[in-house]
């Protein structure tokens, strides 16, 4: 009997949820999707350092020798996302999702501009819009940006989706794809109810995606549903038949290692019972979101988490640029990192202001006074660079 992964792939498009190119080669999915956290994780793998360095050098060439380290790193963020995307597209036959900076989640014009730039970089590399999905947070502003981009032929994947209102608004905007976060919905319900677990058929994330899928198919929306952020294989099994499922390498491996008959649970040609059709304007959307505590909290949390991943990646890119270009770039990078985090401009960074990880803050806070001065940032990152430069 075929393993569970092969059976799933026969009824659902399997997407690799990773920035690890080697993992994508192992499972040969049709599509792949990344986000800032996954790119950050991939950036820690030594064999991908050449990709990072190439992006930094290309960004310096684009920005010119007179550009500041901040400007080069800002450009490199886009270059790196596209560089990883291009490597992934050498492996998968379908599409790669590349995410817009989460800090633009409430900026419609900024999101549109960033999406156009990313698509432009792909086009310069010979990749058409049919092979790229631009990932955008499912805020009202993000959904409106996606609506405009879809009209221009730029296909969008609306991510950080937790509530029915978000799904309906995305479908009405003509989004190509939505990514409801199954596991994060489960996390919220476990925390709010005190339950340790839910069986697959009762999993709140599974129920949410099933509801969205049946609604879309009943009313003829073209927007595809891609379940994401899984915590276990039971959630995946309960969504067999969904348009797409994006799955981490760990869970792909578990599915591949197990056999047994996999039953189709969702059917686009025979959808289950659903809600009456609704249409949402901005006020209706915001009213529904205000009543959905889970979706509101998880959306905010997701944007915050992706933002922290971006800020951490920015700091690492600044470090690497300093290694490549020398001390002047390092001085400027440290200054920019400090200014970015000193939100109230009082000359020091508190833990609450720090946008990176707690581990980095603790490493820089050598005197353990709960705040960082410019000397702390300079000293900490300088030590890291000295160590990195040793043979």
Q: Which residues are catalytic?
A: 135
Contact indicator for 157, 177 with CB cutoff of 8 Å: yes
Which residues fall within 8 angstroms of residue 121, CB to CB, at 6 or more apart? 78, 79, 82
C-alpha pair distances (Å), 282 with each of 108, 144, 286 = 14, 10, 6
Eight-state DSSP code of residue 91: T
User: CA-to-CA distance for 121 and 115, rounded, in angstroms?
Assistant: 10
User: CA-to-CA distance for 248 and 252, rounded, in angstroms?
Assistant: 6
Phi-psi region at 153: left, alpha or beta (left = phi > 0; alpha = psi -120 to 50) = left
Question: 331 burial class (0-12, 13-18, 19+ CB within 10 angstroms)?
Answer: middle
Eight-state DSSP code of residue 95: -
User: CA-to-CA distance for 180 and 203, rounded, in angstroms?
Assistant: 14
Contact indicator for 115, 145 with CB cutoff of 8 Å: yes
Q: Work out the angle at residue 101's Cα, subtended by the Cα atoms of residues 97 and 102, and round it to the nearest 5 degrees.
A: 100
Question: Each residue of 105-114: b (16+ CB within 10 Å) or e?
Answer: bebbebbbeb
User: CA-to-CA distance for 60 and 50, rounded, in angstroms?
Assistant: 15
């Amino acid at each position: 009997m075929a393993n569970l992964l092969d059976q799933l792939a026969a009824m659902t498009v399997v997407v690799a949820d990773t920035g690890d190119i080697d993992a994508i080669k192992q499972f040969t999915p049709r599509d792949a999707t990344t986000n800032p956290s996954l790119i950050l994780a991939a950036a820690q793998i030594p064999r991908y350092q050449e990709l990072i360095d190439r992006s930094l050098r290309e960004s310096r060439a684009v920005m010119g020798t007179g550009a500041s380290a901040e400007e080069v790193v800002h450009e490199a963020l886009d270059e790196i996302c596209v560089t990883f995307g291009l490597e992934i597209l050498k492996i998968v036959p379908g599409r790669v999702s590349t995410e817009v900076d989460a800090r633009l989640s409430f900026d419609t014009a900024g999101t549109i501009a960033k999406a156009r730039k990313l698509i432009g970089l792909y086009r310069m590399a010979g990749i058409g819009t049919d092979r790229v999905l631009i990932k955008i947070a499912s805020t009202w502003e993000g959904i409106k940006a996606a609506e405009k981009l879809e009209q221009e032929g730029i296909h969008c994947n609306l991510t950080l989706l937790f509530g029915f209102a978000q799904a309906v608004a995305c479908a009405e905007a003509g989004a190509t794809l939505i990514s409801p976060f199954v596991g994060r919905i489960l996390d919220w319900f476990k925390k709010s109810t005190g339950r340790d677990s839910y069986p697959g058929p009762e999993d709140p994330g599974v129920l949410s995606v099933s509801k969205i899928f049946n609604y879309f198919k009943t009313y003829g929306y073209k927007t595809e549903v891609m379940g994401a952020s899984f915590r276990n294989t039971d959630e995946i099994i309960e969504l067999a038949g969904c348009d797409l499922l994006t799955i981490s390498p760990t869970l792909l491996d578990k599915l591949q290692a197990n056999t047994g008959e996999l039953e189709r649970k969702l059917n686009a040609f025979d959808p289950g019972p659903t809600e009456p059709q609704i249409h949402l304007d901005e006020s209706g959307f915001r009213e529904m979101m205000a009543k959905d505590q889970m979706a509101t909290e998880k959306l905010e949390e997701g944007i915050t988490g992706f933002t922290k991943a971006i800020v951490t990646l920015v700091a690492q890119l600044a470090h690497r640029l300093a290694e490549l270009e020398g001390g002047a770039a390092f001085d400027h990078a440290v200054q920019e990192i400090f200014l970015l985090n000193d939100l109230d401009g009082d000359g020091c960074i508190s833990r609450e202001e720090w946008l990176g990880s707690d581990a980095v803050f603790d490493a820089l806070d050598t005197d353990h006074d709960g705040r960082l001065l410019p000397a702390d940032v300079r000293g900490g990152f300088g030590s890291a660079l000295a160590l990195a430069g040793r043979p």
